[in-house]
């Protein structure tokens, strides 16, 4: 287990959030017809907004709004289609909640429009390496950046941690060159994103605290992923208990933020993990 460490994550529109001392939940709101576990459920703006507000009531501090499925083999959408899905939801949420709003996109133009609509954070599943202009945008606007590792469209190193270090250091170089301060950055090891097997994801979990060397907050997104289904034998919609187990384990390994579909069950699992970490800190004092 790791020690509790506090970071102040600075995001757009003059906002900030403390992460590390207590688990922070980022709720997934997919405004898509084809996401792997909830595609089509929240395609309409009213349904997406209602779901997001329900997640906030359940304990989410951040709402992550996405307009393009990133599941393996998903059909790409145009930038205009993505923007047509996410911007009305972000605009509606801006006046309805104090929760932070994140846009899940790898497109700099979508990120720019989303920040203008009220988003505070850009969650880039290509870690700035597909459209590096996102880094310059973050530097200009003060947006928070979630920089995610992926193995897609490239040759990975054989060792899971070596590949994390290679990819994420490259992403951090892009961010620093653009003028993004470390206080704006969160890293995500990208569970399920071109991790070739359940075993690779499990090894990443088992060795997760190796990523603490970055000395940046770590976000994890294991929610309903295929490897959780491989372990539990459950279909995508029935993997919330398995997800909560991974959340608690990763919290004890040093993760600070948790991107999930089911906020309530993960909130409870993380409350237990947080209590263990506080007790450990008290006994060590």
What are the structure tokens assigned to 232, written together?
A: 């539990």
pLDDT at 261 over 60: yes
Structural domain boundaries, residue 280: 7-284
| Mean pLDDT confidence for 188-204 | 94
Answer yes or no: 195 catalytic: no
Domain count, the chain: 1
Tell me, yes or no, whether 2 lies in a domain: no
What is the CATH classification number for the domain harbouring 119?
Answer: 3.20.20.20
184 pLDDT higher than 90: yes
Catalytic residue among 112, 195, 259, 267: 259
Out of 225, 226, 239, 251, the active site residue is 225
241-251 core/surface letters (b: 16 or more CB in 10 A; e: else)? ebbbbbbbbbb
Active site residue 259: yes
> Within a domain: residue 196?
yes
**Are residues 194 and 164 in contact, defined by beta-carbon separation less than 8 angstroms?**
no
Indicate whether 262 pLDDT > 70.
yes
Q: How many CA atoms lie within 13 A of 203 on its CB side?
A: 13
**Chain segment 68-124, per-residue pLDDT in tens:** 987 666 677 899 999 999 999 999 999 999 999 999 999 999 999 999 999 999 999
Segment 83-97, tens digit of pLDDT: 999 999 999 999 999
Q: Sheet harboring 100-104: ordered strands across?
A: 185-188, 144-148, 121-124, 100-104, 62-66, 24-30, 257-260, 219-220
Question: Two tokens at 276?
Answer: 């263990």
For residue 192, give the nearest of 237, 235, 229, 155 by alpha carbon. 229
Q: Classify residue 65 by its DSSP letter.
A: E
In a domain, 140, yes or no: yes
Is there a domain that residue 46 lies in?
yes
The answer to whether residue 1 sits within a structural domain is: no
């Amino acid at each position: 287990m790791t020690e509790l460490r506090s970071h102040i994550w600075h995001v757009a529109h003059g906002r900030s959030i403390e992460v590390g001392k207590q688990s922070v939940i980022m709720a997934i709101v997919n405004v898509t017809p084809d996401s792997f576990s909830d595609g089509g459920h929240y395609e309409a703006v009213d349904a997406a907004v209602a779901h997001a507000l329900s997640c906030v009531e359940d304990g989410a501090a951040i709402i992550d709004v996405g307009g393009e499925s990133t599941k393996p083999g998903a059909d790409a959408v145009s930038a205009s289609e993505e923007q047509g899905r996410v911007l009305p939801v972000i605009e509606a949420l801006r006046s309805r909640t104090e929760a932070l709003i994140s846009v899940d996109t790898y497109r700099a133009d979508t990120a720019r429009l989303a920040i203008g609509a009220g988003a505070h954070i850009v969650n880039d599943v290509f870690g700035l390496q597909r459209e590096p202009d996102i880094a310059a945008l973050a530097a200009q606007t003060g947006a928070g950046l979630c920089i995610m590792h992926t193995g897609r469209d490239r040759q990975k190193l054989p060792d899971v941690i070596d590949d994390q270090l290679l990819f994420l250091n490259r992403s951090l170089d892009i961010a620093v060159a653009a003028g993004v301060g470390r206080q704006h950055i969160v890293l995500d090891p990208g569970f399920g994103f071109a991790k070739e097997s359940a075993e690779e994801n499990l090894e990443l979990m088992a060795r997760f605290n190796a990523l603490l060397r970055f000395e940046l907050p770590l976000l994890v997104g294991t929610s309903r992923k295929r490897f959780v289904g491989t372990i539990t034998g459950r279909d995508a919609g029935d993997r919330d208990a398995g997800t909560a187990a991974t959340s608690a384990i990763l919290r004890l390994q040093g993760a600070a933020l948790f991107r999930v579909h089911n906020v309530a069950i993960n909130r409870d699992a993380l409350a237990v993990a947080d209590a263990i970490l506080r007790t450990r800190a008290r006994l060590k004092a």
